[in-house]
Amino acid sequence: MAKPALGKGLGALIGKAAAQPPGSVPVSFTPQPAPGEMVRKVPLGEVVPSPLQPRKEFAPEHLTELMDSIREHGIIQPLIVRLVHGKHELIAGERRFRASRELGLSEVPVIVRTASDKDVLEMALIENLQRENLNPLEEAQAYVRLAKEFGLKQEDIAQRVGKNRATVANAIRLLELPGGVQNYLRDGKLSTGHAKVLLSLKKTEEIEMAAEEVLRKSLTVRATEKLVESILNPPAPKPKPSAPDAELKVALDSIQTRLTRHLSTGIAIHHGEKKGKVEIEYYSVDDLNRLLSAMGLPDDVV
């Protein structure tokens, strides 16, 4: 049996309608009338949004563009609706509905179809994923809802929306980010690429700290990778020089005192782990010649 091609998207829902009894209207998204259907115009006041619409916010700039198009060309694609309690409830075409309402249109073209709540929700989710400019978190939440409410595996979701499974899996992982970092992603301050790199960190505080540094320094994704690597594999701290033990310290203090008395000048002994140094103070050239003489060197060196 041939494997179904990826990218069928809403067509996968259309296919489900084939199993319906003869005479029923297929549940599909296609905005053109199917055999036996017709486009009709209904008063805009009789059309209501679907409470099952998963998306509550629509980009104003996209709505403005659609209003300009409708103003010039009219509504080219009818709204898809179903009859609920005497009203035409939207199945698909909410942006066209909102644009028509903003323009003050009195009526809109619709195609009336039969659809269950489950069909409407699934079509709305997939329409949003395929046709809307969702932010990365909205996209991830839509995938999760498809998985939870319809028992779909990531492979099934990928097939319906025309993407590969890895894309779906990576999108869902974005919901593991801390709330504050999700806000950065939602507001466009961080890209999806940045977010995926930050998810390599396991601790919430590490992710938040790294995200703040990315924003503060305007780091690229590549630079963010280096930042995360430095957090995951910090350089080994340099060993601090060990303090001399008590017995050695007593001996060094004694030597320092004896040298001070012998040379009649300030002496400081600095002892390290493997080596050290002795500092000898002098106050003039004559004093230096005196010290050299005391150490057995000719007094005319300087």
Name all domains of the chain by residue range, CATH numbers in brackets.
11-18+25-117+124-132 (3.90.1530.10), 177-231 (no CATH), 246-294 (no CATH)
Instruction: Please tell me which residue, 119 or 79, carries the higher pLDDT value.
Output: 79
| Average pLDDT estimate for 243-269 | 83
Q: Residue range 152-179: average pLDDT?
A: 92
Q: At which residue do the structure tokens 């300009």 appear?
A: 68
Q: Mean pLDDT across the stretch 279-283?
A: 87
Which sequence positions are flagged as catalytic?
A: 94
**In the predicted structure, residue 167 carries a pLDDT above the cut 70:** yes
Position with higher pLDDT, 29 vs 66: 66
Residue 7 has pLDDT above 70, yes or no: no
**Higher-pLDDT residue of 195, 259:** 195
pLDDT for 301 equals 54
Nearest to 197 by CA among 218, 176, 222: 222
Averaged over 222-239, what is the pLDDT? Answer: 90
Instruction: Answer whether residue 142 shows pLDDT above 90.
Output: no
What's the burial of 32, exposed, middle or buried (CB within 10 Å: 0-12/13-18/19+)? exposed
State mean pLDDT over 135-143. Answer: 88
Cα gap 27→33, rounded to integer Å: 12
The C-alpha angle with vertex 196 and arms to 193 and 197, in degrees rounded to 5, equals: 90
* DSSP summary character for residue 203: S
Mean pLDDT of the chain: 82
Tokens read off for 200? 């390599």
Tell me, letter by letter, the H, E, C secondary structure of the chain. Answer: CCCCCCCCCCHHHHHHHHHCCCCCCCCCCCCCCCCCCCCEEEEHHHEECCCCCCCCCCCHHHHHHHHHHHHHHCCCCCEEEEEECCEEEEEECHHHHHHHHHHCCCEEEEEECCCCHHHHHHHHHHHHHHHCCCCHHHHHHHHHHHHHHHCCCHHHHHHHHCCCHHHHHHHHHHHHCCHHHHHHHHCCCCCHHHHHHHCCCCCHHHHHHHHHHHHHHCCCHHHHHHHHHHHHCCCCCCCCCCCCCHHHHHHHHHHHHHHHHHHCCCEEEEECCCCEEEEECCCCHHHHHHHHHHCCCCCCCC
Is residue 31 within 8 A of residue 127, CB to CB? The reply is no
Residue 299's pLDDT is what?
60
Q: What is the pLDDT of residue 242?
A: 61
pLDDT over 80 (residue 256): yes
**Percent of the chain surpassing pLDDT 90:** 40
**Strands of the 47-48 sheet, one edge to the other:** 40-43, 107-112, 79-84, 87-92, 47-48
Confidence (pLDDT) at 177: 96
Query: How would residue 20 be classed by pLDDT, with cut points 50, 70 and 90?
Result: very low
Q: Where are the beta strands (DSSP E) in the chain?
A: 40-43, 47-48, 79-84, 87-92, 107-112, 267-271, 276-280
- Higher-confidence residue of 298 and 173: namely 173
pLDDT at residue number 32:
62
Pick from 109, 114, 85: nearest CA to 23: 114
Residue with the bigger pLDDT between 243 and 96: it is 96
Is the pLDDT at 208 greater than 80, yes or no? yes
136 pLDDT more than 80: yes
Question: Of residues 2 and 238, which shows the higher confidence score?
Answer: 238
> Rounded to the nearest 5 degrees, what angle is found at the Cα of 69, between the Cα atoms of 64 and 74?
125
Kindly give, in sequence order, each residue whose CB lies less than 8 Å from that of residue 227, ignoring residues fewer than 6 positions away: 210, 213, 214, 219
Is 112 in contact with 46 (CB distance < 8 Å)? no
Global pTM?
0.57
Mean pLDDT to the nearest integer, 20-43: 60
Name 124's Cβ contacts closer than 8 Å, sequence gap at least 6: 50, 52, 53, 54, 55, 91, 92
